[in-house]
Amino acid sequence: MMIRTIPVTPFDGQKPGTSGLRKKTRVFMQPHYLECFVQAIFASIGGVAGKTLVIGGDGRFYNDRAVQIILAMAAGQGAARAIVGQGGLLSTPAASHLIRLNKTDGGIILSASHNPGGEDEDFGIKFNMSNGGPAPESVTEAMYAATRSLSEYTLFEAPDLDLGRISTVTLGDMQVDIVDPVADYADLMETLFDFPAIRARFAAGFTMRFDAMCAITGPYAVEVLENRLGAAKGTVTHATPLPDFGGMHPDPNPTWAHELMAEMMGKDGPDFGAASDGDGDRNMVLGRGAYVSPSDSLAVLAANAHLAPGYAGGIAGIARSMPTSGAADRVAEAMGLPCFETPTGWKFFGNLLDAGRVTLCGEESFGTGSDHVREKDGLWAVLLWLNILAVRGQSVAEILAEHWARFGRNYYSRHDFEAIEADKADAMIAALRARLSGLAGQKVQGMTIRTADDFAYTDPVDGSVSKQQGIRILFEDGSRVVYRLSGTGTEGATLRVYLDRYTPGTGDLQLDPQVALAPLIKAAHGLAGIAEYTGRSSPDVIT
Ligand code: G16
């Protein structure tokens, strides 16, 4: 057993995207590839000597090897302590909580989130800061710079640690605490929500289905929903995390969570349904016969959060990513709360949460969270819904209908065009960008363009500026189309087209969103020339 330094040549393309570095698993499995990125993480935070890190991942293929590699590198470079989830497992929100609870210097999370897992699928890694939140752009840029100038990394050479038993062991001079991945997180949930009220509702026959999609949330959902809240055994399906997620695509949306959708849309479906993603930070919420769009979910949660004990004093403000619909803005306005519009990426919410300027955050990409951690949190969102349902005693459909009648409805949809050739997608965006200044006043599909711009964000807390965060076309009737290229894909480019149209509470509130948005969809295709540039006339995924 000894400390060894290994010379390396830098790898190209280790540039973190919307949420850490995501690549094909086999790319990560190349000799020294993961090690080089971990070394760059360490460099970007001034080394790990004397520091404490939380380490864990969503259990996808290569999670186990990656945890051992990171432990060996941390031990070899003088880290004082590592806190690791048993089996190397931690959901993203649970990792964020452990970082905060133990006041550590940060943590490394292994996940490609909602991307499929397996030897031929995707893997990922990201660093979270001592506040529990994803590294901000200044740090991810430092990581990328470090990946390009590395010449070596150091590790402590020793046999793999047995991570299967909850215990405290040592690796060289580093203490390693192998902890229950679920317990602290479940305890935190008990402090936020009215568990007795939810338990009483389940005892009275309320039924639920939670699809964990063979990913990390299974053990968390079983413990919280079935063991602590008394939901019927078997409420949580696909509850065992598997390295390939059992072949499922763990993205909780109507396309990929189709089993759950079919059950919930049936006439004998359960009262409430939910799904979460690979690493447990996303959520989809459903009622019997009712789909709640993530943008609406944020708005409903904001309007009702005070019904849960953890938010009984009210919320400080709301933040949403720019492409998320304006539904939450209407709640903020009615409640006299500040509302912030940030670029896509949970890292942009961190400063607002740390400064106490917002309590709830949400994104159209099935992410919702609060200041209890610094990540979005799938099971948390489901529990807040359960708490609201228990107090109001209504169905999901009734709550949605009342919400729209009061605040109006933002008909909303996102159309994704996946794995298109990157140069074609870039050319389309570049051409649109070049035309932006001349678009105002033009008429498309009977609608007049009010403004067109490329979203830039100045962080209200630290003043940092992020440019080119999505192209926005705003129409005079308040409708909006946004175009962005995804920063989380691993194959070609994914074009996301976000569509939003507001109807007041007195209008027609029960339309199919695709019907309500039909003219906007046509306008979106025409304006950007999607078919001409990409050869695609219809999206691969609609949410
Ligand atoms: C990540 C980010 C989210 C973002 C989502 C989609 O989520 O944390 O903020 O909305 O990716 O990003 P993009 O549109 O660039 O693909 P996750 O759940 O993948 O970590």
**Within this chain, do residues 390 and 449 fall inside the same structural domain, yes or no?**
no
pLDDT tier, 267 (very low <50, low <70, confident <90, very high otherwise): confident
User: Closest Cα to residue 381, out of 257, 286, 250, 503?
Assistant: 286
Q: Quote the tokens at residue 298.
A: 């944020």
In the set 91, 113, 325, 479, the catalytic residue is: 113
**Which domain, by its residues, includes 488?**
409-542
**Within this chain, do residues 538 and 455 fall inside the same structural domain, yes or no?**
yes
140: enclosing H helix or E strand: helix 137-147
What angle (nearest 5°) sits at the alpha carbon of residue 356, between those of residues 354 and 359? 100
Single out the residue in 181, 213, 239 at which a domain terminates: 181
Burial classification of residue 36, based on how many CB atoms lie within 10 Å of its CB (0-12 exposed, 13-18 middle, 19 or more buried): buried
**Within this chain, do residues 147 and 220 fall inside the same structural domain, yes or no?**
no
Query: What is the arithmetic mean of pLDDT over 204-213?
Result: 97
Report the atom number in ligand 1 closest to the C-alpha of 112. 19
Single out the residue in 407, 431, 449 at which a domain terminates: 407
**Within this chain, do residues 172 and 234 fall inside the same structural domain, yes or no?**
no
Single out the residue in 407, 428, 447 at which a domain terminates: 407
Coil/strand/helix, residue 356? coil
pLDDT digits 0-9 by tens, 468-511: 999 999 999 889 999 999 988 778 899 999 999 999 999 899 99
Of all residues in the chain, the percent with pLDDT exceeding 90 is: 95
**Within this chain, do residues 211 and 308 fall inside the same structural domain, yes or no?**
yes
**Within this chain, do residues 24 and 6 fall inside the same structural domain, yes or no?**
yes
Query: E-assigned strands of 288-408?
Result: 290-292, 318-321, 339-342, 360-363, 367-370
Query: Whose CA is closest to atom 18 on ligand 1?
Result: 113
- Residue type, position 73, single letter: M
Q: Look up 113 and say whether it is catalytic.
A: yes
Q: Phi, psi at residue 339, to the nearest 5°?
A: -135, 130
In the reported structure, the alpha carbon of residue 92 is separated from the centroid of ligand 1 by a whole-number distance in angstroms of: 13
In the reported structure, the alpha carbon of residue 34 is separated from the centroid of ligand 1 by a whole-number distance in angstroms of: 21
In the reported structure, the alpha carbon of residue 287 is separated from the centroid of ligand 1 by a whole-number distance in angstroms of: 25
pLDDT tier, 1 (very low <50, low <70, confident <90, very high otherwise): low
Query: Whose CA is closest to atom 3 on ligand 1?
Result: 345
pLDDT digits 0-9 by tens, 7-47: 999 999 999 988 899 999 999 999 999 999 999 999 999 99
Q: Quote the tokens at residue 156.
A: 């402590």
- Determine the pLDDT at residue 490: 78
Report the atom number in ligand 1 closest to the C-alpha of 489. 16
- Determine the pLDDT at residue 520: 96
- Determine the pLDDT at residue 402: 97
Residue in 488, 498, 541 to alter for ligand 1 test, most ligand atoms within 8 A of Cβ: 488
pLDDT digits 0-9 by tens, 456-469: 999 999 999 999 99
Q: Quote the tokens at residue 339.
A: 């509302």
Query: What is the arithmetic mean of pLDDT over 233-251?
Result: 96
- Determine the pLDDT at residue 523: 95
**Within this chain, do residues 348 and 416 fall inside the same structural domain, yes or no?**
no
> Tokens 């969809």 correspond to what residue?
521
Report the atom number in ligand 1 closest to the C-alpha of 487. 15
Residue in 283, 346, 486 to alter for ligand 1 test, most ligand atoms within 8 A of Cβ: 346
In the reported structure, the alpha carbon of residue 344 is separated from the centroid of ligand 1 by a whole-number distance in angstroms of: 7
Residue in 18, 60, 295, 322 to alter for ligand 1 test, most ligand atoms within 8 A of Cβ: 18
In the reported structure, the alpha carbon of residue 114 is separated from the centroid of ligand 1 by a whole-number distance in angstroms of: 9
> Does pLDDT of 140 surpass 80?
yes
pLDDT digits 0-9 by tens, 59-109: 999 999 999 999 999 999 999 999 999 999 999 999 999 999 999 999 999
Strand order, beta sheet including 493-503: 443-444, 447-454, 471-475, 480-485, 493-503, 409-420, 541-542
Query: What is the arithmetic mean of pLDDT over 304-333?
Result: 97
Q: Phi, psi at residue 26, to the nearest 5°?
A: -65, -25
332 HSE (CA, 13 A, CB side): 21
Q: Whole-angstrom Cα distance, residue 192 to residue 235? A: 22
Q: Do the Cβ atoms of 491 and 476 come closer than 8 Å?
A: no
Q: Quote the tokens at residue 466.
A: 């992020």
Q: Whole-angstrom Cα distance, residue 16 to residue 95? A: 19
In the reported structure, the alpha carbon of residue 489 is separated from the centroid of ligand 1 by a whole-number distance in angstroms of: 9
Residue 171 sits in a domain whose CATH number is 3.40.120.10
Number of domains in the chain: 3
Query: What is the arithmetic mean of pLDDT over 397-403?
Result: 97
Of all residues in the chain, the percent with pLDDT exceeding 70 is: 100
**Within this chain, do residues 172 and 201 fall inside the same structural domain, yes or no?**
no
pLDDT digits 0-9 by tens, 225-239: 999 999 999 999 999
**Within this chain, do residues 423 and 478 fall inside the same structural domain, yes or no?**
yes
Q: How far is CA 369 from CA 92, 280, 380, in A?
A: 12, 12, 7
pLDDT digits 0-9 by tens, 176-196: 999 999 999 999 999 999 999
- Ligand 1, CB within 6 Å, residue ranges: 18-19, 113-114, 281-282, 344-346, 363, 365, 367, 486-488, 496
pLDDT tier, 162 (very low <50, low <70, confident <90, very high otherwise): very high
**Within this chain, do residues 171 and 278 fall inside the same structural domain, yes or no?**
no
User: Closest Cα to residue 365, out of 376, 350, 351?
Assistant: 376
User: From the CB of residue 440, how many other CB atoms can be counted at a distance below 10 Å?
Assistant: 15
- Determine the pLDDT at residue 142: 96
User: Closest Cα to residue 405, out of 278, 300, 298?
Assistant: 300
Query: Whose CA is closest to atom 14 on ligand 1?
Result: 486
pTM above 0.85, yes or no: yes
pLDDT tier, 435 (very low <50, low <70, confident <90, very high otherwise): very high
Report the chain's mean pLDDT, rounded to a whole number: 96
User: From the CB of residue 395, how many other CB atoms can be counted at a distance below 10 Å?
Assistant: 16
**Within this chain, do residues 63 and 141 fall inside the same structural domain, yes or no?**
yes
CA dihedral 407, 331, 217, 51 (to 10 degrees): 170
pLDDT digits 0-9 by tens, 322-354: 999 999 999 999 999 999 999 999 989 999 999
Q: Do the Cβ atoms of 22 and 74 come closer than 8 Å?
A: no
Residue 484 sits in a domain whose CATH number is 3.30.310.50
**Within this chain, do residues 58 and 23 fall inside the same structural domain, yes or no?**
yes
Query: What is the arithmetic mean of pLDDT over 365-373?
Result: 97
- Determine the pLDDT at residue 447: 93
Can you list the alpha helix ranges (DSSP code H) found in 340-395? 350-354, 378-392
In the reported structure, the alpha carbon of residue 374 is separated from the centroid of ligand 1 by a whole-number distance in angstroms of: 14
Residue in 115, 281, 365 to alter for ligand 1 test, most ligand atoms within 8 A of Cβ: 365
